[in-house]
Structure 1
Amino acid sequence: MKPTSYSTLTALRRAVRRLARAHRLPADVRGRLMLSVTDLATAELRAGPIALSASRAKEPDDTGFLVVTLQAPQSTTHLATHDLPLPAPTTSGHTVTWHIPVPEAGPPRPQDPLHPRPENSAGRLQAESHDSDGELRATLALADSLAGEHRLLKHELAETNAGVLALYVQLEEQDERLRQAHGQVLRELEDALRPPPPRIAGLEVAVHYAPADPGAPTGGDLYDWFALPDGTLHITVVDAVGHGVGSTRSALNVAHAVRTLALEGHPLQSIAARTHDILMPLDPKLMATVLLARIDPATGELQLANGSHPPALLVRSDGSAQYLEVPGRGIGFPFPGSDSVLSARLHAGDLLLLYTDGLTESRKDAYEGEIRLVRAAQNHAHLPLAGIPAAIAADMHQIVLHADDTLALALRLTRTTGPRT
């Protein structure tokens, strides 16, 4: 069909509607074509007439389609074809072409839709009204279909989200159970490494330990105590650098080496240096502080050796307190060993506190922590010994700026019998 020119939008829309009706285009396709032609022609008709042509064609597979071409020869710009309701695959300057599949239910009506026979106004209005109703019904049907699909998708999405949330909660619960089980196993292993307080006449001993991370209760703070052949009590407090299982292994190696050397009868002052010599070839990266104590429960005689560890705190029965300082360097440090051995005497009712730096450095100020520790120990010295280490730790950790493994070990003489004979 030859191109036909139109000077008004109304005439052009009527031609498009007749063309769609003649080729039996579905109502929704007809509506999209109408809107696309209207969008393109509304601005271009100001420049001059719009030409419209149409023809039938077939694909190689005998699929029929309608070729509709719109031309705006007097347009000063290229036709804007983006976002058209019916996409136009072919554009060239002032020409837009649609390739529209057509139904196979018979050939088009014989009348040329672009050059129709005259018809009265009533018939034309009736036909246009019928076409408009069809396009509107198709639009409403499509909208209803999309709304139904949207509701279905929302329902399916809600079910999916609920399922994902339930799965997430289930996985979180399983993960929490695994963490608790893991922590319980580690606590049992840790407890197995920490000997229970010894039962020694005239001497009370109690201990408190808290890991930096309750979910991973292993750490490098460890203690050991045992009676020597002469009846004195040996106590080892170790703080290996690091956290977790690796630091526990390091602390355990130090404690075992110290126990072996002590039972072999080595002097207290030499044990830290000898422990360094034994362990460094096996673990060159090991670093640990160590505090060694010997207490004669019969006489109250106390000996202390130190390797870079916080000093022991002695609180007398009258409430006075002093730190028992001993210079020295720890395992893995340069020039390891205790420079000397400090000797003191405990009396009945005196409290001796051995601890690791996690007790005094929770606020990142060791000096301030030592002052608070004296006050806390004095405040709780009157309690039964079993509850003193935990009570002191609770006071010291009311504010924690630096979490670390914490060990507090308390001893108190209940009586003395005088020097050994």
Structure 2
Amino acid sequence: MTPPRSRRGRPQHGRRGRRGPTRQPQGTSLVGQRFVVEVEDVAHGGHCVARHDGRVVFVRHTLPGEQVVVEVTSGTDRTSFLRADAVEVLRAAPQRREAPCPVAGPGGCGGCDWQHTDAAFGRELKARVVREQLRRLAGLDLPVTVEQVPGDEEGLRWRTRLELAVDDAGRAGLHPHRSHEVIPVEDCLIATPAVVGSGAVGSEGNHGVRALDVAATSTGDVVVTPRPSRDPAPVVHEQVALRGHTLDFVLDATGFWQVHPGAARTLVTAVLDGLRPRQGELVTDLYAGVGLFAAELARRVGPTGQVVAVEGDRRAAEHAGDNLAGVPWAEAVHADVTRWVTEEPEPLAQSDLVVLDPPRTGAGKDVLTALLAGRPRAVAYVACDPAALARDLATAKTLGYQVDSLQAYDLFPMTHHVECVAVLTPTEGPPELEPLDPS
């Protein structure tokens, strides 16, 4: 199972959205056929590349340099590529290990891509993917190191939010890769003890329920929300401890929040270190969610500055308003970002700094063109998909902006997902700034 997407495109382990009609592939199905391949390098999406009879085969459950027997899971004799699982390892890579999760292999839960190696090598695989996407799609040759984030042990027991699918018998479980089937499970090794102890994991009798959302917050609350439900989503509280102070947030239990316990602090710190906000500056925060970045940016620019946080989800924008209520120079706006940047050019034209945290598809040419036309001195782009980031960085280059710094973080250990923070500055170079106040 590919981890499904939340409102903002982030992976929400355990449930897939409904698919629309799909065109049936032409030709004779090769599903179930087995053959031996030599595995090449890692590819974007949690698999590695191999070749058979002149066609590319995207193989899961393998590592670069291995020789494996694969079983085709998708494709015909006329498709340009095949998908397959490695069902037998003939020559193992030195980084291979026995997966700690009993349902992580072929035909099992699809939420994790790299249980068959340790978290450190998983980070190296992700770094290779980011470097290749930047090179291929943006023409950028940049060094990339995916950093470990404090808050998990060996890539396990870090996930604070989990979406469980429910089968027709009312049993809660997880999906296989690219499947709507449900595998009942008693545990999820990447979920925190609080999530596993919520009573939802392994539960039965969930009749009339399609899914269960579990949220274990930093303030100690554990909330299980059935879907669908006629009741409003419960409101929960989250805290982010920064340098010498703590930020408090309210949001829906089913709304978007970073699922790794160290993620929010890591990303806010990376954005602040990249932008270096100053008193009196004007900041636009696009795809602002419940105000994670806007809250601290407002504290940094002070009452002589201004922060405008734009969010397309109504409930998230309402909560952003609540979270910024004590800061009169910060405003939360509920609006479609693409429409807002084209219809409200004045705030962007005046902005010194911009934060972009778009969905998995990226910001896109229209948004980048509008925001960079105002020539902000710096843009922090928070990206959950390296391919979308690379495409947008290529656009930014044509609009006169360069990558000043790029950091990558392992916010989703054992999966192929990686979070990047790119700081963009005008090609002619950023202005000289005074040293930052470490407070």
Tell me if both proteins adopt one fold, taking TM over 0.5 as the criterion: no
TM-score normalised to structure 2 length: 0.20
Structure number having the greater helix percentage: 1
